[in-house]
């Protein structure tokens, strides 16, 4: 069955770094957009990083650009989110998500409703 398993969350001080992983199985990993979202209680999921698995093109929200880097290990079918210079406002539950097969991040997905598969989330807490 489809599985996306995030790991790597935790508690850090402002300015610190974390690397999130999203190990996938049960679906074709290549040829789709993978993304990282975050969500606070009572708020809508916010897309922060997107990567085209075939091509490695990446996109970022303004709030994380220059600090977060999305990457992929296609052989292991695992996506990563390197988060540097973390800020207290980055505190959130982080989710990885898989877009539809053959989706391109820039043109075929618009918001969280366009993503087909989701992980269970991993908590990131940044203290000041």
Name the band, by pLDDT with cuts 50, 70 and 90, for residue 33. very high
Residue whose entry in the numeric block shows the structure tokens 């975050």: 38
Could you report the per-residue pLDDT of 51-109, keeping only the tens digit for each?
A: 999 888 999 999 999 999 999 999 999 999 999 999 999 999 999 999 999 999 999 99
% of the chain with per-residue pLDDT over 70:
100
% of the chain with per-residue pLDDT over 90:
95
Q: Are 35 and 50 in contact (CB under 8 A)?
A: yes
What's the pLDDT at 55?
Answer: 83
Instruction: Give the N- to C-terminal CA distance of the chain in Å, as an integer.
Output: 40
What's the pLDDT at 121?
Answer: 97
- Which tokens is 49 given? 């990083």
Q: SS3 of 68, please?
A: strand
């Amino acid at each position: 069955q489809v599985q996306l398993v995030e790991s790597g969350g935790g508690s850090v001080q402002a300015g610190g770094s974390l690397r999130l992983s999203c190990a996938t199985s049960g679906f074709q990993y290549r040829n789709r957009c993978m993304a990282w979202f975050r969500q606070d209680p009572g708020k809508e999921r916010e897309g922060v990083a997107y990567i085209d698995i075939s091509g490695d093109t990446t996109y970022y929200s303004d709030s994380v650009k220059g600090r977060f880097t999305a990457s992929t290990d296609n052989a292991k079918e695992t996506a990563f989110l390197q988060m540097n210079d973390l800020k207290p406002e980055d505190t959130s539950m982080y989710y990885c998500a898989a877009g539809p097969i053959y989706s391109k991040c820039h043109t075929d997905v618009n918001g969280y409703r366009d993503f087909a598969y989701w992980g269970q989330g991993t908590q990131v807490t940044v203290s000041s």
